Amino acid sequence: MSASRTDEQQAQQGLQRLDTLLQHRARLGACVLLAKTTALSFSRLKMLLEETDGNLGAQLRKLEEAGYLEVRKEFQNRKPVSWYSLTPAGRTALGTHIRAIQDLVALVPAEGRTKTKA
């Protein structure tokens, strides 16, 4: 059985609303984590996302350049610490991206979804 024209159009619209910047695991993960707090340090994000320094730094820089993140650098006990926070633009982009994913998932027939164990 083929998808209806309406389902195809909804899928196409949902896919177009996905933010390509947030399709990378580390970038999406950082935004999701930062959406729930005021700020997180680079080292905390690195631990939570299980990324290398280089990869995480590159991914956070892309989010910062897009205006999704702000970084505040300071010294604690003579050691540099970078604090990242989500900007209003980042919150909006994350919300739009998550809603697009939810809309796409809703198009999948119930029998096509698998249940995961908690």
Mean pLDDT of 3-30: 85
Q: Which residue, chain included where needed, has tokens 């990378």?
A: 24
Out of 4-8, 24-28, 60-64, least confident range: 4-8
Determine the Cα–Cα distance for residues 7 and 96; give it in Å rounded to an integer: 20
Mean pLDDT of 10-21: 84
Determine the Cα–Cα distance for residues 64 and 76; give it in Å rounded to an integer: 22
pTM of the model: 0.81
The domains of the chain, with CATH numbers, are: 5-108 (1.10.10.10)
Q: What is the pLDDT of residues 85-114, one digit of tens each?
A: 999 999 999 999 999 999 888 888 777 666
Q: Are strands 79-86 and 40-41 parallel, antiparallel or unpaired?
A: antiparallel
